[in-house]
Amino acid sequence: MMLEKTIERRVVALAIAAGWLAFKWVSPSQRSVPDRIFIRDGEVVFIEFKAPGKTATVSQQRMIEKLRDHGMTVHVCHSVEGGRYALSI
């Protein structure tokens, strides 16, 4: 089973190679934000990375729904292939 950090690192490398900006999202005043923000050509995609078989916490799920309610694209990815799909790479 691949670790979450390994999946994240590989997807970030692929995204950068495909022209995406990739930012780690750390928000000291707001917990449970997705791991990464990807930006390319006016498109913004948030990704929460999880190891296979793991799920987002209740607070992470609430934040994902809040972002989606504001029109944002948010994915929870359990594999490199899922990250590639989310970013169309």
Q: Which helix (H) or strand (E) holds 47?
A: strand 43-49
Domain span holding position 66: 4-86
Give me the pLDDT at residue 58, please.
Answer: 97
Q: What is the pLDDT of residues 12-40, one digit of tens each?
A: 999 999 999 999 999 999 999 999 999 99
pTM as predicted: 0.95
The C-alpha atoms of residue 48 and residue 43 are separated, in whole angstroms, by 17
Contact between 77 and 47 under an 8 Å Cβ cutoff? The reply is: yes
CA angle 45, 15, 87 (to 5 degrees): 40
Give me the pLDDT at residue 86, please.
Answer: 98
Please count the structural domains in the chain. Answer: 1
CATH number of 42's domain = 3.40.1350.10
Q: What is the pLDDT of residues 37-67, one digit of tens each?
A: 999 999 999 999 999 999 999 999 999 999 9
Tokens of 30: 């707001």
Question: How many H helices and E strands in the chain?
Answer: 3, 4
